[in-house]
Amino acid sequence: MIYLDNAATTRPYDSVIARMAEVLGEAYGNPSSLHRMGMEAENIITEARKTVADSIGAKENEIYFTPSGTLANNTAILGYLRRNKHKGNKVLISSVEHASVYNIGKYLLENGYTVEWIPILNGEPDWIWLEEHLDTDTALVSMMAVNNETGTVFDIPRLKNMIDRKGLKTVLHSDCIQAYGKLNISVRDFGADMMSFSGHKIGAPKGIGVLYVKKGVLLEPLYLGGGQENNLFSGTENVANIAGFSEAVKVFRKEKPVEKVKALSKLFLETLLPEIPLNSKHSLGTVVNISMNLRSEIVLHMLESEGIYVSSGSACSQKKGGSNRVLEGFSVPKKQQDTAIRISFSHLNTEDEVRYAAEKLNEIYLQNKKK
């Protein structure tokens, strides 16, 4: 099996699986309990919070564990706007965001907010448009750091500098789910006031995310309960998943896998026929998006028959059909949208696997070209 769908989810590291099994079997107390078992569980969370905070140069009380990256995104945007209604009701959101941000924008539009979609020009945000539309009425801007379908990197520090240069109080949120562990993110240099992360994109389990909230930024919780995570995410903490997230952070900080991933991406593109259209611009290298000369689903099944697993876009949207909103936002022609394939790499892949996948794509392309 050759798994090249790592933007959808990753295989948990062996050490993550071992650490989670250890916590599930031995540290199963409720972190809110006052006895020793509860304190052991609470200590695991405290240690994990420090590990994540250190990875981005944040304070421990700025890190919140969440049930998912989606809930982190929702809480950041909706929680801020509901808590800070006096800051205005204008929101800017990039037009190529993941559904967990894009659909919040649609919801806000239906509920009285002014939402403007930041256009993409030549593979990057339209900075002239932003200069014109970012103003004193803008309460919040949300722009992802790395696009999940193309791997395109957006310049978040530049956006933060624009906000500061204009002297605005606008809060900046960034979905960093595809960037965390791949870009060098430091809260001081990156500039976002809120950032969302997801465990299953970095070798941790599904069902665990992180929301970074800069000190002084106030949010309203989206649901009520026992007040865990400083009242922002109520519900008994998933200690095993939190421990798994922490272990994954330790692994990627030690091994720095992104350099190998970039090398694999480079090898893939060097092996791929140059005539196959490339939809990725300004890509980090963890994701490659190409267009074949057959419909995506046909190519997916042909590759699967060879034991190669890729995708045709976001795992959250590809089953829904219809046009590809993200590729359309990147000005990819409709025909190329219908034949788009996303290949996303992991440092667990080998050069032979990547070369073989590219060669199979070349064969499929040439076979269909002759017809």
Catalytic-role residue among 316, 325, 338, 355: 316
DSSP H or E run through 15: helix 14-26
Beta strand spans in 38-143 (E): 63-66, 90-94, 114-118, 120-121, 124-125, 138-142
Answer for the pair 122, 147: CB distance below 8 angstroms, yes or no.
no
Q: How far apart are CA 80 and CA 308, in angstroms?
A: 42
Q: How far apart are CA 212 and CA 194, in angstroms?
A: 5
Looking up tokens 């009380």 gives 61
Token representation of residue 159: 């956006």
Q: Is 30 helix (H, G, I), strand (E, B) or coil?
A: coil
Q: How far apart are CA 33 and CA 31, in angstroms?
A: 6
CA dihedral sign of residues 230, 233, 238, 240: negative
Q: Is position 316 annotated as part of the catalytic site?
A: yes
Phi, psi of 52 (to 5 degrees): -65, -45
DSSP H or E run through 23: helix 14-26
Phi, psi of 254 (to 5 degrees): -80, -45
Please identify every residue annotated as catalytic.
Answer: 316
